[in-house]
Structure 1
Amino acid sequence: MKKNKIIFWSATIVIFLFEAIMPLCTLIFSPENFNVGTKPLGYPDYFTYALIICKLLGATTLIIPKIHPKIKEWAYAGLTFNLVFAVISHAVVDHNISYILAPVVVGAILAVSYIYNQKIKPID
């Protein structure tokens, strides 16, 4: 059980750093670069703001232990949809393999977090 918790928290903290802290820090400390990932794909600036807010809310939901399990499920789903559409957008628009693989890797870490969340949560 302890090993499962360590794996869950390690993966979840990595997700929190990538999906919440990095976008928020970019917005705060380097606002001229906040849309560097979405602008080349043709998305408007307001979409980037919405994406940052949703990522922050979703990733924060994952690290709060007492959040209702259904809300966590929605957070995992939302973050997964974000990563799937990032892969599709980059595959269709810029064909850059590193831009395509980055959300795949983050998605794999998100999957580990989800799987180990299921293993450590108490059975209702």
Structure 2
Amino acid sequence: MSTMTSHEKIAKVESSPIGRKVAYWTVTVILAFSIALSGIGQLMRYGGNIDLVAGIGFPLYITNILGAWKLLGVIAIVIPGFPRLKEWAYSGIFFLMTGAALSHAFANDYGNGGFHMILPLFYAALGIASWALRPKSRRL
């Protein structure tokens, strides 16, 4: 029976180059896929995107701006090289997602079970995790 605590097990995975790389790519792929789908949905004004934006009082053209920035941010994070651009993309995703959560909160549009706040904050947390786990080759 292992006597390692869960904290020690996590530290062991993080210190392992392979474990850290797997964790980075797992988190980053989930983040990139989610943000890309969101951006495409906004550019196409698909599904509930129009209701979400109009419901908090934003003009519909904001979907074009947000959708384009999301896709550009995903590309910047996923492609190799350009570490400074990656820093900007990570910060952009963080501000975009926390801004979305706050916009919904200020408009009293929490969604079912707070979904309109929980989802963007989850994406912000994924962005922080991806940034923290990124390999040295993707850092400044």
TM category, shorter:
0.7 to 0.9
1:92 to 80, 102, 106: 106
- Unmatched runs of 5 consecutive residues or more in structure 2: 1-16
Which fold has the larger relative contact order, with Cα–Cα distance below 8 Å and residues 6 or more apart in sequence?
1
Are 1:16 and 2:32 an aligned pair? Answer: yes
- Residue of structure 2 in register with 1:79 after alignment: 93
- Residue of structure 1 in register with 2:57 after alignment: 42
TM-score between the two structures when normalised by the length of structure 2: 0.76
Deviant stretches of 4+, over 2 Å: 25-28, 30-37
Cα gap change, 1:4 to 1:35, in 2 (>3 Å):
same
C-alpha deviation, 1:52, in angstroms = 0.2
- Residue of structure 2 in register with 1:105 after alignment: 122
Superposition RMSD on alpha carbons, in Å? 2.0
- Unmatched runs of 5 consecutive residues or more in structure 1: none
In 2, distance between residues paired with 1:121 and 1:21?
Answer: 28
Which structure has the bigger radius of gyration? 2
- Residue of structure 2 in register with 1:65 after alignment: 80
- Residue of structure 2 in register with 1:7 after alignment: 23
Q: CA-to-partner distance for each residue in 1:38-73, whole Å, 9 max, x for gaps?
A: 11111111111100000000011111122x111100
The one-letter code sitting in structure 1 at the alignment partner of 2:53 is: T
Count of matched residue pairs: 120
The one-letter code sitting in structure 2 at the alignment partner of 1:8 is: Y
Map 1:20-31; keep pairs closer than 5 Å: 20-25=36-41, 27-28=43-44, 31=46
- Residue of structure 1 in register with 2:132 after alignment: 115
